[in-house]
Amino acid sequence: MSGAPPVIVGLSGGVDSSVTALLLQRSGRKVAGLFMKNWEEEDASGVCPAEQDAEDARAVAALLGIPFHTRNFAAEYWDGVFEHFLSELAAGRTPNPDILCNREIKFRTFVEHAEDLGYERIATGHYARLRRIDGRVELLRGVDPGTDQSYFLHALDQAQLARAEFPIGHLHKAEVRRLAADAGLPTQAKRDSTGICFIGEKHFPEFVARYVKADPGPIVSVEGETLGEHQGVAFHTIGQRGGLGIGGRKGGSGEPWYVVAKSVAERTLYVAQGEHPALYGQRLRTAAVHWIAGSAPGADFRCTAKIRYRQADQSCHVRMLGRGAAEIRFDEPQRAITPGQSVVFYAGEVCLGGGVIEASDAFRGGLQE
């Protein structure tokens, strides 16, 4: 591996990126680490979680004896990711900032800084794999279905994937933890981070309320009965259970209430009780689909897809529309199809790409026959 290009690892302060750096160093590569700070605010306790993460990343680099760099990408994150996140919420959709963060920050801004530092490749602790064939790159699932992160990487293009490496994509999480423990890495037992990309674990409604104004309106059942009031449709998502303040109504079935649709124009949140048919749809339409190979497999084809992370693959038929959009018909009804989220396509272990959901044939989903 001595002839392999130098590589810089996105060291996040977590165990996955730590083991990524460990494996690359053991392979004989010229390796460095870079910590990306992308959010400036402290949490409610006055603590800045990024500072602890940076210290953990620095400690890993010191233990491995590799150069360590830090960069503040907060301005790029705000302009390239967070403003879009807020505009989507205001439009009544539920965006996935992790996908945009990967495309715009981890595999674009990071790459630019890696070049400036003299590194030809970047590596991250994502659970995914790459296959290079005849000058192009395929994105493959991680071998462990429980940790596979190809869903979040589907928006990357050939140029981005050509510069990337995913050294732990062939491992299960338990193996990563074991490698970290055997090497004495300080992150070996650190809890996995969750929450919005780079922002961390925050109470979502309270966090969003800092940036999106309250816009109260009625909570209405699918039968047309007004049940209560919400503070803004932006604070809710399709399929949400709880946080509605309408449980335990007299004469009700006792089953939980779920959000089934939202209307920004009417400032209305639509709900149904139990596993109501209004929660389900079988067709959806996307915005322009990003295909990792550069083009769709065909104008009309079958594959599998998922409409959310960790969902099992669902068989479907894809029909390409104008301007790169697509219509997808699933073999089975899908629960809580959510505008703003992404539908991601697969052919076996290969991730083909994906697109943002615009409409569906679910209750008030906007997709007509």
Whether 303 is catalytic: no
- Residue owning tokens 């009309």: 300
Task: Report, in this order, helix, strand and coil percent for the chain, each rounded to 5.
Answer: 25, 30, 45
Whether 48 is catalytic: no
CA distances (Å), origin 364, targets 92, 246, 280, 283: 13, 21, 11, 13
Q: Note whether 232 and 212 are within 8 A (CB).
A: yes
> Out of 101, 303, 316, 351, which one is annotated catalytic?
101
In DSSP terms, 131 is beta-bridged to 138
How far apart are the C-alpha atoms of 229 and 216, rounded to whole Å? 7
Q: Which pair of tokens denotes residue 3?
A: 């002839």
CB proximity list for 6: less than 8 A, separation 6 or greater: 29, 30, 31, 32, 118, 119, 120, 121
Exposed, middle or buried, 3 (CB in 10 Å: 0-12/13-18/19+)? Answer: exposed
How far apart are the C-alpha atoms of 38 and 27, rounded to whole Å? 30
> Out of 197, 303, 316, 351, which one is annotated catalytic?
197
Q: Is 229 helix (H, G, I), strand (E, B) or coil?
A: strand
Nearest to 20 by CA among 189, 168, 174, 177: 168
Distance linking the first and last C-alpha atoms of the chain: 56
Write out the catalytic residue numbers: 101, 197
